[in-house]
Amino acid sequence: MKLSKNFTNPLAANNPVIVQILGICSALAVTVKLEPALVMGLSVTFVTAFSNLVMSLLRNGLPSRIRIIVQLVVIATLVIVVDQFLRAYMYDVSKQLSVYVGLIITNCIVMGRVEAFALGNKPWDSFVDGLANGLGYAFILVLVAFFRELFGSGTLFGFDVLARFGYTNNALMLFPPMALIIIGCIIWVHRSINKDLQEK
Amino acid sequence: MAINKNSNLYIIIYTIVMVVIVGALLAFLATSLKPQQEANVLNEQKVSIMKAFGEAELNFDDVVTMGRITDGQFVAVEEGDVAAIFALLGNRKALAEAENELPIFQLDKDGVTKYVLPIVGKGLWGDIWGYVALQQVEGNIVITGIVMDHAGETPGLGAEIATEGVQKLFEGKKLYDAEGQFAVRMQKGGAQNEYQVDAITGGTKTSDGVNAMLATSIGKYESFLRGAEAEVEADTECCGECCAEEANVELNNEEE
C-alpha cells in the first residue's frame, strides 16, 4: 500500500515539476522535440532512481559532515555514465541535449529526493521513490514536447502529422517562453482537478 | 567499539575509498565506450562532407577521393593516412594553423568534379566551422554547397548560420570578382551581386566571422584553386585545337 502510494504520488498529486516547480530549467530547454525530451526524461529517471538507491544503501555508514559531497559524487558519477552512453549509442540526441545532460547534476529533483527521502528510507522504497519522481518529471517533459513539436513543427517524433492537413507551423511554439506558458497551462488544469492544491 | 563516523580518520578513509571506486568505474566506462564514440564523430564528419557536396544519400567511402593540397598540388591520400586527415578535421586549432598539406575531398559525378574544403573561424562567442563545396564554372569558382556549425553563437541570430535556410543562400555564389579578387561575403543590408549573400539580421559579428572564415580558409587553397581554373581554360584551348584538327581532317577528306 505504502509502496504503491510512493510510486503514484510523484506522478500526479505531488509531481516534482508542476507541484513542487522543480527542474523547470531543463523543461524549457529540451522540449522543442519529443525525442530529446523523452531521452532527457529517461536519463533523469535513471539518475534519480539509482542515486536514491545508492544513497539509501550508504546511509548508515555515511559521515554526516560530508553528506552533501558524497551525494554530489554519486549523482555526478551517474550523470557521467548517462552522458557517456548517450554519446556512444545516441549521438544525435546527445548533441541536441548538449549541456543539459551534464546539468542533470544540478537538477533540484535529484538531490531533493536524496536528501528528503533516500537518507531516511530503505533501499527498495528509495529506488521506487526516485523512479516515480523521475517518471513524473519525464511525463511533464513529454507532454510539453508533444504540444511544442505538434504545433511548432507539425510533427510527432519526426513524423508528419499536421503538415498533411495544410497546417502552417507556428514558430512561436519553438521558443523557450512557450514551454513556460504550456507548463503554466498544465499546472492550471492540474490544480482545477486537484482542488486541495489550490491556495486559499 | 563503535566506529565514530564523524572522526577525521573515518571521513578521510571514506573519501579515499569512494574516490578510488568511482574513479576506477568511470575510467573503465570511458575506455570501453571510446571506440564507439570516436566512430560516431567520424561518421558525423563524413555525413557533413556529403551534405556539403549536396549528395547526402551517397556513401562517403564509396565515392569520395581524399587528398591533401601540398604546394598547390592535389596529392591523393594513402590508406594508412586517412585517420590523420580526420583527426586534423576534428582538431579545429590545428586545422586553423595548417599552412600546407591541407585536407581536401574530391567527388566526380556525372562528369563534374567538385571539391570540399574544411573551413574554420571565429564567430562572436566561439568557434565556427564547416565544409564548403566548390566547382569550376566558366573560369570562376562557384560555391555549390556549404554546411556550417558553431560552438555558441546566439540562438535565433548568429546561430542561424547552422540552418539550411542561410546555407542555401550560398549556393551558386562566385568566389572571385571580375578583377580576380576574393569577393564572396555575407553583405549587411542584403546581397547586391553574384558574390554576396544576405547577412544575418542581428548577427553582424557572426556574419563578419563567416566572411573572415571563408577568406582565410579558402585563401589557403588559392594556388590550387587558381591552378584548377587555369587547367579548365587550357582544356578548352586544347579542345579548340582538336576541333580545328578534326575540321582539317574533314577538309582533307573532301579534297580526296
Please list every residue in chain A whose beta carbon sits closer than 8 Å to the beta carbon of residue B29: 80-81, 84
- For residue B37, the distance in angstroms to the closest alpha carbon of chain A comes to 4
B6 CB near a chain A CB, below 8 Å?
A: yes
For residue B14, tell me if it sits in a domain. no
User: What are B78-93's pLDDT values in tens digits?
Assistant: 878 888 888 888 888 9
- Whether B173 is covered by a domain: the verdict is yes
Residue of B14, B25, B41 with shortest CB distance to A63 = B14
CB-based contact, B5 to chain A, within 8 Å: yes
Predicted confidence at residue A188, as pLDDT, reads 92
Residue A171: exposed, middle, or buried by beta-carbon count in 10 A (0-12, 13-18, 19+)? exposed
Closest-CA distance of chain B to residue A140, Å? 24
**Does A47 score more than 60 pLDDT?**
yes
Instruction: Give the residues across from A156 on adjacent strands.
Output: A159
Place of cell 504503491: A4
Q: Which of B214, B208, B177, B209 is nearest to B193 (CA)?
A: B177
Confidence at A170, pLDDT banded by 50, 70, 90: confident
Quote ipTM for the complex. 0.80
Q: For residue B250, is it within any domain? A: no
- The verdict on a CB contact (< 8 Å) between B33 and A84 is yes
Count of CB atoms within 10 A of residue B215's CB? 16
Q: What is the mean pLDDT of residues A128-140?
A: 93
Please report whether residue B255 resides in a domain.
no
Higher pLDDT pick, A14 / B37: B37
Domain limits for position B210: 50-240
DSSP code, position B1: -
- Name the CA dihedral angle for A42, A44, A46, A48, rounded to a multiple of 10 degrees: -140
Task: Encode pLDDT of B19-65 as tens digits.
Answer: 999 999 999 999 999 999 999 989 989 999 999 998 888 888 888 88
**Is residue B11, in this structure, part of any structural domain at all?**
no
The number of domains in chain B is 1
| Domain membership flag for residue B80 | yes
Task: Write down the pLDDT at residue B238.
Answer: 45
- Read off the pTM: 0.76
Using pLDDT thresholds of 50, 70 and 90, give the confidence band for residue A133. Answer: very high
**In sequence order, what are the residues at sequence separation of 6 or more whose Cβ sits closer than 8 angstroms to the Cβ of residue B168?**
none
In this predicted structure, the answer to whether residue B244 has a pLDDT above a threshold of 50 is no
- CB of B25 within 8 Å of any CB in chain A? yes
B40 touches chain A (CB under 8 A): yes
The torsion angles phi and psi of B138, rounded to 5 degrees, stand at 50, 55
> Within a domain: residue B188?
yes
Stronger pLDDT, B156 or A173, i.e. the higher one: A173
Q: How confident is the model at residue B154 (pLDDT cuts 50, 70, 90)?
A: confident
Identify the band that residue B246 occupies on the pLDDT scale cut at 50, 70 and 90: very low
**Residue B15 in contact with partner chain A when CB distance is under 8 A:** yes
pLDDT reported for residue A117: 92
Answer whether residue B249 is part of any domain. no
> Mean pLDDT score of chain B, rounded to an integer?
84
Chain B residues touching residue A62 (CB < 8 angstroms): 5
B44 touches chain A (CB under 8 A): yes
Pairing status of strand B112-122 against strand A155-156: unpaired
HSE-up (13 A, CA, CB side) for residue B255: 6
Interface residues of A toward B, Cβ cutoff 8 Å, are 61-66, 69-70, 73, 77, 80-81, 84-85, 87-89, 91
